[in-house]
A and B are shown apart, each in its own frame.
Chain A
Amino acid sequence: DAGVIQSPRHEVTEMGQEVTLRCKPISGHNSLFWYRQTMMRGLELLIYFNNNVPIDDSGMPEDRFSAKMPNASFSTLKIQPSEPRDSAVYFCASSPLGGSTDTQYFGPGTRLTVL
């Protein structure tokens, strides 16, 4: 299995631009998580999907952030408009079918820089 795939790996954009991050979870996994990692705050859960349905988006910082999961093999995290404080590494993680969400498999992350 290729593992969790994220694209792009690096993104540099200017303040005010729209940014879209993409994630392909491991096939057969029914849970998907988006995280943001910074030196100061560590890993923070942004949103959790189960069977393609958003269950908890309380970690989404504000209305500028949105996430979708149109099918079991694809999810996006969008920031519009982007701001310099959004600069961070964004990770997607998936967990297997069967009820256990204890083992999360992380993607390689997208390093976002907003100038």
Chain B
Amino acid sequence: EDQVTQSPEALRLQEGESSSLNCSYTVSGLRGLFWYRQDPGKGPEFLFTLYSAGEEKEKERLKATLTKKESFLHITAPKPEDSATYLCAVGSGTYKYIFGTGTRLKVLA
């Protein structure tokens, strides 16, 4: 069964304190690994797509990496505006997405 598990469920960081979020997955036929950011009261906002093990993508203070079993979202020197829920999803088949339940990140000033 396709499954996505994110850890930790919640994370509190001081401004400037770097850390990583984990997304482990099992899927038959990975189409891609996706990261989204979700702010309270809003829909998820697309961040990255990773397609193969070893691939990395960066955007500002965020860097996503992918292995055959998991993905990491590294946050370098976070700021309070990085506070949000970060969702990981795997693409299965031609159109399905299986989402994890997310990591709630709070960055304190």
Residues of A within 8 A of B (CB): 4, 31, 33, 39, 41-45, 48, 50, 55-56, 91, 93, 101-109
Contacts and interface: CB of A to CB of B under 8 A. Distances in A.
9 contacts: A55-B95, A91-B44, A101-B95, A102-B31, A102-B34, A102-B91, A105-B46, A106-B43, A106-B44
Contact of A48 (B41, B95, B100): B95
B38 to A, nearest CB: 8
Contact of B97 (A50, A104, A108): A104
Given A102-B49, A104-B46, 14 more contacts: A33-B97, A39-B101, A45-B97, A48-B96, A50-B95, A56-B95, A91-B43, A101-B94, A102-B91, A104-B44, A106-B43, A106-B44, A107-B43, A109-B42
A44 B2 CA distance: 13
Given A91-B43, A102-B32, A109-B43, A45 B96 contact: yes
Interface of B: 31-32, 34, 41-46, 49, 87, 89, 91, 94-97, 99-102
| Chain B interface, DSSP helix/strand/loop, else mixed | strand
